[in-house]
Structure 1
Amino acid sequence: MSAGIDPQAESSERTPQQARKQQLAAAVRAAAANAADEVGGGLALIFAAAPGESGIECASRLRAAAGFSSAQAARDAAQTLLPEVRDALEHRAVGSYGAHPSLGERGVGGTQVHPLICEDRLHGALVIASPAALDSVGQQKVAARVEGLSLRLDHAHMLEQSAEMSDVLRQVDTKHEDKQEEILKLSEALFAQDIELLRSNEKLNKIEKLKNDFIERMSRELRTPVNGIIESIISVLTGENESLSDTAKASLRRALDDGTGFLRTLQNIIDLWRIQRSELPVEVQDVNFRETVDEAIFSLQDDIEGKPLTVEQQLQEPFPKIRTDLTKINQILFLMLDNAVKFTPQGKIEIAARVNDGRLHCEIRDTGVGICTDDQQYIFDEFYQVDEPASDKYRGAGLGLALVRNLIILLEGEIAVRSEVGAGSTFIFSIPVQVVG
């Protein structure tokens, strides 16, 4: 949902001033919608003074919002965040905050408040709340958006000043050459800002293109050779090759495991990218959940073997047939079990699941190392890994749980975690499903 908070009334005969205000309102609404999209489907609020106004009180008025379910929800969020907005305006500095409870899932990645300043002229603030912590590309896009919006607001204020001076000159003696010269300077500055606005938009488009080109190139240039290497290793291991020693075969198996893990990480990156671009479709089909759990456990058998570790299932009896996206459920279960196996050197992993009121509820509990309270708010962020010495011995790129959360959100579900250091972790998720029997 993208909306202007104070829309202008339509008029069959608009004055130039009304036309400028409506054009600015449309540009601000578009900026809010684009900003929300650029942070992966988050939330955006734009506070700004109207052209001709100045001061923090005027600059902290809500003008547009995007990503909210209704205009009232946007107003409520704006009222809640007003202290942070005024702080950013007073100090003319970016404010970064954790997830705000009132912003829901779209804001769990944290909130940023960016003052909108052009050549030391303060015009307002852009508030961004994202569903995941912003990476460097996301930060660059937000910075470019802030720069472009600051220029656009400054442009509107200078236009208003120019119009006011023109009105004054029409009412007084035209011999006031100093006023004419000031208007000329303003016109030159407005032209220069038009050029800067074009450059700002070009910068945003260039960042997006570079990101997309990199993902596509990585997909093509890395997956193909890695697949070829894996197939060659499998061919050697399954063939009748007596010249290979046991040590050589063990080395090849390790290389096969590493290659498969690398390919899986690469696929996780691509899937995250496709979800953020809304290019990963949901394909609903019949799902035998019990079989899906068995397949996920079997896929991790090599990692489980050699550990004093048991995996137990506590599934509803009888478990009903459901309809949802089989591929994504399989991926979610594998990634969550892989995470549990990785951080549970010994003990037990339990999978509990039931269907109730049209939702699949699932818990994965382990007796592993656990997660400290400070880390729990970040574990679903992309590339995040717990910062402790023990983490060096655990493989992974910090993408598994980030992808899990994105897949669950894609399926319109929810996920949460309970954990204590040394006492294990419990991950709980639920998604809507169709019950077919």
Structure 2
Amino acid sequence: MLCLRVFLAERALVPIQRSWNKQQQFVADASHELRTPLSILLVNLERLFRHPDHTIEQESQKISVMIRETRRMNKLVSDLLTLARTDSNQLQILSEPVRLDEILNRVADQFRELAKLKNITIETSIASPILMDGDEQRLHQLFVILLDNALKYTHEGSIKISCHPSSSFVYITVEDTGVGIAKEDLPHIFDRFYRGDKTRSRTGEGTGLGLSIAEWIIKAHHGKVRVESQIGVGTVFHITLPLKRKR
């Protein structure tokens, strides 16, 4: 009887231990990600302090680096707070009528100027109007993450956005002609801090948390996401969202 109780107690502790290990890993990863921009900031500040005789151009370069890393760190902290709120169920998804077509067009317009600087075109095929139940702010965040991700890893070609409804669902695709994702990396792209192979991670951009947040937003809307990719060809995100949220 005692052995059985010990066995049951140990089995009950397994999920708790897994959760604890997961939290420890998350904290370790977050600390590592924060350490890099902080180190870069510190090095550049020390150089400015030690070499006050530097030219304005030299100082401007260092300040530019510090601004970039500060923005990166700010984005990382923001993403960490978002994920912390999702883990503790403190982040609620609204369910109200929204125009999905307007959200998508707005996000596409937001990225067009930046895409032009890289000689990349953003093409859209979006039905109108598309009315659905959802959280406008979070849906906007979802598509910002996906387009930012596509633009980050696309060096030439195009990004295509399509959105078409059926009677009960709306189907969205975000397709790019970027570097692609290796087959072995695909199952992990929504994992926190996962950046895949060196082709995608060497840019040093991003926080490694965006797609985790994107997946959470999709699931919170009772939707599904599927990803297809081929190295050197590009990546397609297929998203399905219900037009009416379950009450």
Give me the TM-score of the superposition, normalised by structure 2.
0.73
Pick from 329, 353, 364 the counterpart of residue 163 of structure 2: 353
Task: Please give the per-residue CA displacement for 1:137-184, whole angstroms capped at 9, x wherever unaligned.
Answer: 159xxxxxxxxxxxxxxxxxxxxxxxxxxxxxxxxxxxxxxxxxxxxx
Higher relative contact order (CA 8 A, sep 6+): 2
Distance 2:174 2:58 in 1: 37
Shift of 1:260: 4.0
Identity of aligned residues (%): 23
Structure 1 segment 386-397 matched on structure 2, within 5 A: 386-389=196-199, 391-397=201-207
Could you say if the C-alpha distance between residues 34 and 379 of structure 1 is closer, same or farther in structure 2, counting changes exceeding 3 Å?
A: same
Pick from 311, 324, 327 the counterpart of residue 122 of structure 2: 311
Could you say if the C-alpha distance between residues 30 and 261 of structure 1 is closer, same or farther in structure 2, counting changes exceeding 3 Å?
A: same
1:290 aligns with 2:77: no
Shift of 1:263: 2.3
Distance 1:369 1:246 in 2: 34
Letter of the structure 2 residue corresponding to residue 274 of structure 1: R
Could you say if the C-alpha distance between residues 30 and 386 of structure 1 is closer, same or farther in structure 2, counting changes exceeding 3 Å?
A: closer
Pick from 404, 418, 431 the counterpart of residue 228 of structure 2: 418
Letter of the structure 2 residue corresponding to residue 265 of structure 1: L
Could you say if the C-alpha distance between residues 265 and 138 of structure 1 is closer, same or farther in structure 2, counting changes exceeding 3 Å?
A: closer
Structure 1 segment 31-430 matched on structure 2, within 5 A: 31=13, 34=16, 38=19, 135=22, 137=24, 259-301=70-112, 303-316=114-127, 318-389=128-199, 391-430=201-240
**SS at structure 2 position matched to 1:344:** coil
Distance 2:198 2:71 in 1: 27
Conservation of the 8 A alpha-carbon contact between 1:342 and 1:394: no
Which ranges of structure 1 fall in alignment gaps of 5 or more residues? 1-16, 40-133, 140-210, 223-244
Distance 2:213 2:134 in 1: 18
Letter of the structure 1 residue corresponding to residue 24 of structure 2: V
Conservation of the 8 A alpha-carbon contact between 1:343 and 1:394: no
Distance 1:324 1:390 in 2: 32
Task: Please give the per-residue CA displacement for 1:316-366, whole angstroms capped at 9, x wherever unaligned.
Answer: 2x3331121111111110000000000111111111112224223211001
Could you say if the C-alpha distance between residues 25 and 321 of structure 1 is closer, same or farther in structure 2, counting changes exceeding 3 Å?
A: same
Letter of the structure 1 residue corresponding to residue 220 of structure 2: L
**SS at structure 1 position matched to 2:201:** helix
Letter of the structure 2 residue corresponding to residue 424 of structure 1: G
Which ranges of structure 2 fall in alignment gaps of 5 or more residues? 39-55
Conservation of the 8 A alpha-carbon contact between 1:319 and 1:354: no
Could you say if the C-alpha distance between residues 257 and 305 of structure 1 is closer, same or farther in structure 2, counting changes exceeding 3 Å?
A: farther
Letter of the structure 2 residue corresponding to residue 321 of structure 1: L
Distance 1:419 1:284 in 2: 32
Shift of 1:257: 5.8
Distance 2:186 2:215 in 1: 13
Task: Please give the per-residue CA displacement for 1:68-93, whole angstroms capped at 9, x wherever unaligned.
Answer: xxxxxxxxxxxxxxxxxxxxxxxxxx
| Structure (1 or 2) with the larger CA radius of gyration | 1
Shift of 1:294: 2.5
Distance 2:240 2:218 in 1: 8
Distance 2:167 2:7 in 1: 44
Letter of the structure 2 residue corresponding to residue 137 of structure 1: Q
Conservation of the 8 A alpha-carbon contact between 2:182 and 2:197: no
Could you say if the C-alpha distance between residues 313 and 323 of structure 1 is closer, same or farther in structure 2, counting changes exceeding 3 Å?
A: same
Letter of the structure 1 residue corresponding to residue 83 of structure 2: L
Distance 2:126 2:86 in 1: 30
**SS at structure 2 position matched to 1:283:** coil
**SS at structure 1 position matched to 2:81:** helix
Distance 2:112 2:65 in 1: 15
> How many residue pairs are counted as aligned between the two chains?
221
Shift of 1:302: 5.0
Distance 1:260 1:290 in 2: 30
Shift of 1:282: 1.1
**SS at structure 1 position matched to 2:206:** coil
